[in-house]
Structure 1
Amino acid sequence: EDERFFVEDLSRRLLDFLGSRTLFPHELLALADTAERDGGLEQGAADRFLELATSAFALSPDPVDRGWYAELERVSSVAADIGGVGSTHINHLTPRVLDIDELYRRMGAHGIEMIDQIQGPPRWDGPDILLRQTSFRALAEPRLFREGDGRVVQGDLRVRFGEVEARGVAPTPAGRRLYDRLLVEADNRSRNRPDLPREDVLRAVWEEHLPRTDVDMARSDLAYYTFAVRADRPDGAPPGDLVTLLDDGWVDVTPVVYEDFLPRSAAGIFASNLSGESSADASRTSAPRDRDWLSERIGRPVVDPDELYAHQRDASLRAVAAALGLERIALPG
């Protein structure tokens, strides 16, 4: 439906193709409905559910229509991956790691071809924010293709890759705005100094503009944290504001982990694994997509992640206030 990528005829044919697919068998959907209604499945039904679910995401042995796949690939490799085959599959899995730089180094040392760089914020000696991601390049896997003359031949496709991530603290809206400004600053510096590694430019910008400790991040209201009363807190009457509680050693901080998506980093991952450039007509209209549209499509509300992060922070502050005999604790600003 995005006219920048899909002309009317191709859009119609693609929607017809997608509408003709049956990605999940009726039995699987019925078992899913039963599990949701009853809060689970009996052992036999659960085993059958797992069998059907994993089969639904396996690479199909059916031949891929070479001409149709190539037509979509001229628009985008992502379009071909999604709409060029009659089934679906898991594109990638993303385990979380503690030291993504060490993983990147060791995988390369084992001869695994990695993408050019780790995506996202830089490694530095302050708090990690948002998330950092990297992956090994998509592997060429054997697939059958149906040619225009009906022949079925052996070929390969690069569609599945392994991604890893290291997650940091979730930024507040103010912290996210600062992060976006820092990216712009890093982009400008990189244009002026193309000889400098991108990671070094990012690190320099981070060191100039971000607090070096979690406590200072919390004091500046740049990230979400939960709080707990310290066992070695001072004597006397506690202050009623968070900044003073932090400065005077009344509470400890624990980062709230960022659990959302980071579009620019993910785009870097996908771009590094695509087989070609996308083709778009910027003069045409894009398809409007927002949270309300997504909620309607999936039949469930999509929660604002900031509300979830703030709920964790606020619940911990209420517990601190109760423990210290305070009516409430004032946030920074």
Structure 2
Amino acid sequence: MAPERTPKQSKPRRGKAAGKAAGKAAPKARPGEQLDHAILRSRPELSALEVAAETGITIDETRRLWRALGFPEFVGEKAYTAADVEAVATLMTFVDSGAVDFDTAVNLTRGVGQTMARLADWEVSALVSRVEEMEAGEEATGSRIGSALRLIDEVNPPFERLLVYAWRRHLAAAVARIEAMGAKDEDLHTIDVTVGFADLVSFTALSNTLDRDEIGDLVEVFESRCQDVVARYGGRIIKSLGDSVLFVTSGAEDGIAVAEGIINVIGRDSKMPDVRLGLASGPVVQRLGDIFGPPVNMAARLTAVARRNRLIVDQNTADLLPATEWENRRLPARPVRGFGLVEPVAVRRR
């Protein structure tokens, strides 16, 4: 049984630990610490025990939340800030109100941590070149740290507002998808979709011949073009793995439109590798921003047997297409890992 937690106030508490931290004179920061302070807006001056004492939760709960965010534990170190106290206290207000239980709060925290970690890496990699440009031009400050600090001041405030806006829009879209994709009444996590998997051909061999910048450019072009095509037909990219993209659409015809679009913008471009696509339809389970189920596995397996710049589908997807508009052709049966012998289907418009 988890240790009993002390009830908390609805607003972040400020106890002795935070008071002492706020009253201390901050030592002169090293260059790297200047960036940390500019981003965090406070300095790490609290231990995990002090965070727990300030927020009224147990040390085990503090560590669970910290790990869920994706950070290593700091045993006995002054690694936490006043902002960390505020974040924990704010989170615990809707736990204590009964809106969610603590395990759900940890689950949500894990989602935030994974999403923000990737976004932060994305943002930094996108802005590094801008820092280099600033230092090489008339905006030079004399150091990369100086340019980075200036960029943080200019970019972060509006970017934070953009984050909240984008989250609201995506939350509304996610709720609408549950209804539009036919969530089962008995399990709102289960939806009927068409799953697509796009895979670059011979990417490993090709990447061995490219330098790091060329590999990065190739992956960026592949992912951005796939994103544009998927969004155009109302689909959603679930995840990208460098040389492959997993996406879903609400219907089979939209899935085929996405697949054909990816072939046109990737496979028909002589500067890009060839691409193979597989589609499978059926119920999938949504968990932690990902999807699971036989259609996901089938779509991935079908790409392994598809020809270059071609699409093949499973029988479920073919059955969803109007017979008056589409014709299909069964391909020779072949072994598919996890499914035994499978007859893929090639489809085309009449």
Tell me which interval the TM-score lies in, with the shorter structure as reference length.
under 0.3
TM-score normalised by L of structure 1: 0.20
TM-score normalised by L of structure 2: 0.19
Answer 1 or 2: higher relative contact order, Cα 8 Å, separation at least 6. 1
Identify the structure with the greater helix proportion.
2
